[in-house]
Amino acid sequence: MELPVFYAKELIPGAASFTMDEPTSKYCIQVLRRQKGDKVLLADGKGHRYEAEITDDHRKKCVTAITNVESMPHPEPGIRIAIAFTKNAARMEWFLEKAVEIGVQGIIPLVTLRTEKEKLKAERLENILVSAMLQSRQWFLPELSEPTPLESLMSTTGQRFIAHCLPGDKPHLLAAMQPGKDTILLVGPEGDFVPQEVDLALQYGFTPVSLGNTRLRTETAGMVGCALMAAVNAAK
């Protein structure tokens, strides 16, 4: 049976013990019914995998003794997506969860001329990222950037793509992307990028791509884009 994984944000390599916060302790002891002597795994979100043993099964402050720590390899290459958040918080939270599960390492809330939502609830979104990281048994917490204007991403390095619905010949992302290279994909808001934004991206070397033959909602386009990028790298 796989050991459960718990988030230990403040844990550092070399520590002898770690005390879980109250919500995590309650989940570990009351929900999963773990007790003194049981083995667990801890993740700090920075790539360290800690093996630990419960030494005090208090439901509000569960204490563990660290028995081993391993530095996990960072996922390569890096996959990032810059996406304009919509006003529908539930839809974007769903996207964040799925993007983490797929293996995206960076998510950038994109500010465009048609962006509907620029102020985000950072703590709630981080909790979603953490939950998805633990559920998918990953060891690096993806970076969620501050809302970023489109213009600020023009100097980004690596493979660079922009998915838009304006007329013109666009290769499918599967055909345009090469495996094994850091990649960023831009996904616009409901209503798409305006023409001058697409022109700006093209001037800076972004490649326009298609995500399929149907028109997708913003969060669906983001999820499809993440899945396609991960698929290209998985097939290398």
Q: What is the pLDDT of residues 101-131, one digit of tens each?
A: 999 999 999 999 999 877 889 899 999 999 9
Question: Could you tell me the pLDDT band of residue 236, with boundaries at 50, 70 and 90?
Answer: low
Q: Who has greater pLDDT, 189 or 235?
A: 189
Q: What is the mean pLDDT of the chain?
A: 95
Q: What is the pLDDT of residues 29-46, one digit of tens each?
A: 999 999 999 999 999 999
User: Is the dihedral angle over the CA atoms 164, 170, 171, 177 positive or is it negative?
Assistant: negative
How high is the pLDDT of residue 24? 96
Domain 79-234 listed as CATH 3.40.1280.10: yes
How high is the pLDDT of residue 117? 79
pTM of the predicted protein model: 0.93
- Residue 6, pLDDT above cutoff 80: yes
- Residue 79, pLDDT above cutoff 80: yes
Q: What is the pLDDT of residues 59-72, one digit of tens each?
A: 999 999 999 999 99
CB 235 within 8 A of CB 201: no
How high is the pLDDT of residue 56? 97
Average pLDDT over residues 213-232: 95
CATH architecture of 5-71: Beta Barrel (2.40)
How high is the pLDDT of residue 118? 77
| Non-local CB neighbours of 224 within 8 Å, separated by 6+ positions | 211, 212, 216
How high is the pLDDT of residue 13? 87
For the chain, give every residue range classified as CATH 2.40.240.20. Answer: 5-71
- Residue 47, pLDDT above cutoff 80: yes
First to last CA, the chain: 31
Q: What is the pLDDT of residues 175-205, one digit of tens each?
A: 999 999 999 999 999 999 999 999 999 999 9
- Residue 220, pLDDT above cutoff 80: yes
| % pLDDT > 90, the chain | 90
* Rounded distance between C-alpha atoms, residue 150 and residue 147, angstroms: 10
* Rounded distance between C-alpha atoms, residue 220 and residue 236, angstroms: 25
For the chain, give every residue range classified as CATH 3.40.1280.10. Answer: 79-234
How many CA atoms, within 13 angstroms, populate the side-chain half-sphere of residue 60?
Answer: 0
